[in-house]
Amino acid sequence: MTTSETPEIAPVTTEQEETLAPLDLRSLFVAGVHFGHPSKRWNPKMDEYIFGKRSRAHIIDLSKTVTMLKTAKEFIEKIVGEGGECLMVGTKAQAQGAIKDQANKVDAMYINQRWLGGMMTNFQTIQHRIERLVYLEDAFAKDTIVAQTKRESLMLASEVERLNKFFGGIKEMEKLPQVLFIVDIEKENIAVSEAKRLGIPVVAIVDTNCDPTQVDFAIPGNDDSVRSITLITQHIAEAIAAGKASAKLAREERMAAEAELEAQEAAARAAAQAKAAERAATAAKEKPAADAKKAAEAAKVEAAKPAEPEAEAAKPEAKSSDAKPEAKAETKAAATDAKPKAEANKADAPAEKPAEAKAETKAAATDAKPKTEATIKPEANPAEKAKTAPEAKADAKPAAKAKPKAEAKKAPAKPKAEANKADAPAEKPAEAKAETADSDDSK
């Protein structure tokens, strides 16, 4: 007979045991939690939890059991209260009934048959078998199972029974548990190793032949007595129930807070919509006045536009009219400055040159004819100068019109040309007198 076929030993239930015994030394002593294994099978690491030895068997210190059990209960209640799940594991004959009963009371997950290798480390594969179990049970419940023969239907029924045997306690497990409660870690060493690999904390009942360092929360006690296992399992189930109650309360509070927040948001939305409606109504009332105001402003702008171009056109005309008198005044001033200088030069030149001409005529009268001819020939140069004088006048006139500054520089050119003109007439009368004198002598 294999382990999976081990008959289930039902715990003895009485009216006194239906209520949870208090967590004290007396209740633990009555349940036989203090009995350990024979001393020759002990584990030295359990020395701190051993009270003594009697009849070649170790006695467990119940005071430490109470302390460790309270710590384990607080931890499990905290994990479950935060929304976690506790998986109860006990596959030995003495623990199967107690694990199943207490787990069903608090709606917890459990394993009370053989622990399949990879139950947690290979959970994806195990989940496929769980889905298969749920599908078959649903098909049998709705009577939609399809079987060609009676034998096939019987095979499907036996498959459902076999899957229920191993996965009946974890049909609703959609993810890995957050904590494990194990009875006899020596027998469930595979479950302990998988939990350690996945980092899942373990709460376990450890006897004198176990290594307490393999688990996170060790509860020293007798793991071979049905009453001892049942009592400790009841306290663990109580912690699970308290955790679920606190989780439910927290969930309800959260839902109430969310509902209140939604109500506040709805009220805020309604108030915002009402304000928006009021603003729309006021805007609709104010719109005609605003449109009329805009139209009046536009009319004013259009009326002001024609006056602006006229003012802009008047400005350039005023500027040009102001500029023309200034230019005329500048040219007149330049001309008036140049005229006195030219007249002064003209006045000086005729006064000096007639005296020189008289002296030359006297000298010419006393000299001989050849000398007079010699003097007449070089006097051809003044005629050329007289010819260049009009050209100088023609050049000087455009320069005077161009700019006032150029007139100031080129103004002295006119007196020189006029002086040349004055020299030429003064010389010509002297020559004429000399010719008349010669003609008289010849006669």
Confidence of residue 328 (pLDDT cuts 50, 70, 90): low
Instruction: Please compute the mean of the pLDDT values over residues 188-217 and round it to a whole number.
Output: 92
Contacts 24+ apart (CB under 8 A), 372-380: 372/434, 372/438, 375/434, 376/431, 379/427, 379/431
Confidence of residue 149 (pLDDT cuts 50, 70, 90): confident
Give the domains, in start order, of the chain with CATH numbers: 15-120+176-255 (3.40.50.10490), 309-442 (no CATH)
Confidence of residue 118 (pLDDT cuts 50, 70, 90): confident
Least confident of 12-26, 159-173, 279-293, 306-320: 306-320
| Alpha carbons 122 and 124: distance in angstroms, whole number | 6
Helices (H) and strands (E) in the chain, counts: 13, 8
Confidence of residue 65 (pLDDT cuts 50, 70, 90): very high
Confidence of residue 409 (pLDDT cuts 50, 70, 90): very low
Model confidence pLDDT, tens digit, residues 3-33: 444 455 554 444 334 567 778 888 888 888 9
End-to-end CA distance of the chain: 193
Kindly report the number of other CB atoms within 10 A of residue 136's CB atom.
Answer: 17
Residue 163 corresponds to which tokens in the numbers above? 């899957």
